[in-house]
Amino acid sequence: MVILLASLSGTLMSQVEQAPYTVLESHGSIEVREYAPMIVAEVEVRGERMKALNQGFRLIAGYIFGNNLSAKKVAMTAPVTQEAGEKLAMTAPVTQLGAEDTWTVRFVMPREYTLETLPQPKNNAVRLLAVPARRAVVIRFSGSNTDKNLATHRDELLAYVAEHHLAVVGAPASAFYNPPWTLPFLRRNEIMLELR
pLDDT of residue 85: 42
pLDDT of residue 152: 95
DSSP 42: E
Tell me the pLDDT band of 49, cut-offs 50, 70 and 90.
Answer: confident
Global pTM value: 0.78
Side-chain-side CA neighbours of 83 within 13 Å: the count stands at 28
Q: What percent of the chain has pLDDT over 70?
A: 82
pLDDT of residue 82: 67
Rg (CA), the chain: 16
**Any alpha helices (H) in 31-121, and if so which ranges?**
49-64
Alpha carbons 96 and 88: distance in angstroms, whole number: 10
CA angle 105, 93, 24 (to 5 degrees): 120
Domain extents for the chain?
Answer: 2-195
Alpha carbons 156 and 131: distance in angstroms, whole number: 27
Alpha carbons 43 and 28: distance in angstroms, whole number: 34
CATH number corresponding to 2-195: 3.20.80.10
Q: Of the given ranges (44-53, 57-66, 138-147), which has the lowest mean pLDDT? A: 44-53
Alpha carbons 115 and 125: distance in angstroms, whole number: 17
- Residues 93-108 as b/e (b if ≥16 CB within 10 A, e otherwise) read bbbbbbeeeebbbbbb
